[in-house]
Amino acid sequence: MLLITCPHRNWFTSYEVVNGSFVFMGNNVSCQIVEMGNIKIKMYDNTVRTLTSVRHVLELKKNLISLGVLDSDGYKFTCQNGVLKVSKPALVVMKAEKVGNLYRVEGSTQVSEAAIVSEK
């Protein structure tokens, strides 16, 4: 389970109501979790990954991914020359570029899906 928070409702591909839950930020401020769901991200290598159990938190200005939770789930991290790579076990699943003091994931959200069906 990844601890990811996001203020953008339209990025969610699934959604369920969460009552009375909060996430505590590094500055000891608590923010209410409105709902929880999944988000699809097209990564740097064009693979689409589904981030599960993403918390929808209205008060946030940025999307956050907890490296501590990723570490607990067996992911490995390397940082070099302003690039963060997240891998499990040897497959790089996420790359991020350092911008200021934060890392920005290289990828884009997939807010809709298209299916092509053909009949013979």
pLDDT digits 0-9 by tens, 27-58: 888 989 988 888 888 888 888 888 888 888 88
pLDDT, tens digit, 9 for 90 and up, residues 91-119? 998 999 999 988 888 888 877 554 333 44
Domain ranges, ordered by start, for the chain: 4-110
Degrees to nearest 5, angle at CA 111 with 110 and 115: 80
CA dihedral 103, 107, 111, 114 (to 10 degrees): -160
Contact 116, 110 (CB under 8 A): no
Which range has the top average pLDDT, 2-6, 22-26, 40-44, 76-80? Answer: 76-80
Burial class (CB in 10 A: 0-12, 13-18, 19+), 119: exposed
